[in-house]
Amino acid sequence: MKKYLCLSLFCILTLTVTAQDVLVTESGDAIKAWSVDIGGSKIYYRTSDDANAPLQSIDKSAVLVWKKADGSRVIIGQEEKKTTETPTAKNEPVVMNADDPEANAACIQAFNQTDAIPTKKASKKAALTILGLLHMAPDSKMADKNVEVSYTIYKKGAYAKTTPRTDGIGVHVRNKTDKTIYVYLGNTFFLRHGISTPFTQSQASQSTSNGNNGTVSTGFSQNVIAIPAQSTLDLGKQEFFPSDGKNPFGGNITHEVRDTYTGGGLFTPMIKTGTVCDFYWTEPKSNLLGKGEVRELAPGGCPIDFGFKLTYSFSEDNTQLYHLDTKLYVSKIIGAYSALTIWGSDNIELIGQPAYLVITQKEIK
C-alpha cells in the first residue's frame, strides 16, 4: 500500500512539473510559461497557472522555441510562416479610421482666426524683437469623430508681464465620446521641426480628467493613460527646446555664449544661457525685418515649427488604434517697435488669444 501511495504521489508531481510550457530564448534562457499566445510581434504568457496571474510579453524575435507541455515543439520562425495568411492575427494592432472632415476643418479655422497686426506705420529701421504667429497647417488633423486636440501657450513668470516670452506649449486631448479612450504614450509624440519626443512615464507631466466626477491629476505612471467619457487629458507643458541640448531648429545650444548660426534661407538659431532658451532670427542687414513690417510665411517656410502625433484606442489591449497629427508653423512675423513691449495700442494688437513666439532679430556680421 505504501508502495502504491509513493507511485501515485510521483505521478502527481510529474504532472505538476510538466504542466507548464517553456519558452527558450536566443540567449539560452528557459522561461516557464502558462497560457501562451503568439501575437503579431510578441508572445504573451502568464507566470503561473493562476488565471489572475499577470500577463507578460516578450518579443517574438527573442524566442527560438516554444516547448509545449504535451512534449511538442514550435519553432517560432515556422510559426510566423503559418500566420502570414492572417496578417490581422490576434493582438496585432489595426489602424482605424474615424475621420470627421467638418469637425477637423472647424477646429483648424477656429485656431487660425487669431491674429496679430501692427498698429503703427512700418519703419525701415530694423526691429530688435519679432513676434512669430503660430498657425495650424491646413493638412493637420486636430479632430475626428472621437477626440479633439487643443493647445495652450505657457509664458514665463514676472518677465512675461512685459514681454510674452514663451517657454513651452501645452497639449490637450478632449474625449468627445461616451466611452473611455486610452492614449498610448509610447506612440504619442511632441515634435520640434520634425524631431519627435515620445510621451513616456518618466516625463514630469500630468494627466487631468474633467468628467462628472470632478478633476483628478496624476503623474504618468504607465504607458497607457485613460481619458474618461466627455473629459480632457492634459499632457502638460512641452518645452520649446529639448532638454538633451540638441537644437532641431538649426544652430547650437551654448551656455553663456551666443553662438550665431547662419545658413541658407531663413535662419533661426537657438541660444541657451543658463536655463533660458531664445529663438534668434538672423539676416543680412539688407533683409532685416523693419519695425511694424509684416511678412507672411507658408508652411515649411520657416524652420520654427512644432507638431503633435496622437495614438489612442477604445481598448487597453492595443489592438485597434486611431491616429491624429497636428502641425504648427510660424505663419507670420511682425517687427516690434520696442524690445520690451510687444503688444499694446502703440505696438502690436493681438486678436483673440493667438499662439505666438518672441524672437530676437540679429544681423549677420
**pLDDT digits 0-9 by tens, 334-350:** 998 876 555 555 588 88
Gyration radius from the chain CA atoms? 28
Q: What is the pLDDT of residue 55?
A: 73
* Residue that the C-alpha cell 482605424 belongs to: 96
**Residue 165 corresponds to which cell in the numbers above?**
516670452
Instruction: Return the pLDDT at 250.
Output: 66
Q: Work out the percent of the chain whose per-residue pLDDT is above 90.
A: 26
259, pLDDT greater than 50: no
| 3-state class (DSSP) for residue 60 | helix
- Closest of 110, 158, 106 to residue 354, by C-alpha: 110
Please determine, for residue 35, whether its predicted confidence score (pLDDT) is greater than 90.
Answer: no
Do residues 271 and 278 lie in contact, with contact meaning Cβ atoms separated by under 8 Å? yes
Of residues 347, 314, 355, the one with CA closest to residue 172: 355
pLDDT given for residue 99 in this prediction = 95
Q: Which residue has the higher pLDDT, 253 or 204?
A: 253
pLDDT at site 334: 92
Percent of the chain with pLDDT over 70: 67
Tell me the β-bridge partners of 21. Answer: 33
Looking at residues 131-157, what average pLDDT do you find? Answer: 88
Give tens-digit pLDDT for 49-85. Answer: 876 677 788 888 888 888 888 878 788 855 443 444 4
The whole-angstrom separation of Cα 109 and Cα 124 is: 33
**Among 44, 132, 144, 138, CA closest to 98:** 144
> Averaged over 127-156, what is the pLDDT?
90
| Nearest partner of 28 among 63, 58, 77, judged by Cα | 63
Q: What pLDDT band is residue 310 in, cutting at 50, 70 and 90?
A: very high
What is residue 28's predicted lDDT score, i.e. its pLDDT?
A: 74
Question: Can you tell me the distance from the alpha carbon of 91 to that of 75, in angstroms, rounded to the nearest whole number?
Answer: 20
The most confident of 18-27, 238-247, 303-312, by mean pLDDT? 303-312
**How does the average pLDDT of the chain come out, rounded?**
74
Highest mean pLDDT among 153-167, 172-186, 197-211, 328-342: 172-186
For residue 330, the 8-state DSSP code is: E
Return the pLDDT at 219. 44
* Contact in structure between 240 and 277 (CB atoms under 8 Å): yes
pLDDT of 245 higher than 80? no
Strands 355-363 and 276-283: parallel
Cα–Cα dist 72/220, whole Å: 43
pLDDT greater at residue 85 or residue 287: 287
Residues contacting residue 147 through CB under 8 Å, at least 6 positions apart: 173, 174, 175, 176, 181, 227, 310, 312, 322, 324
The gap from C-alpha 335 to its chain's centroid, in whole angstroms, comes to 32
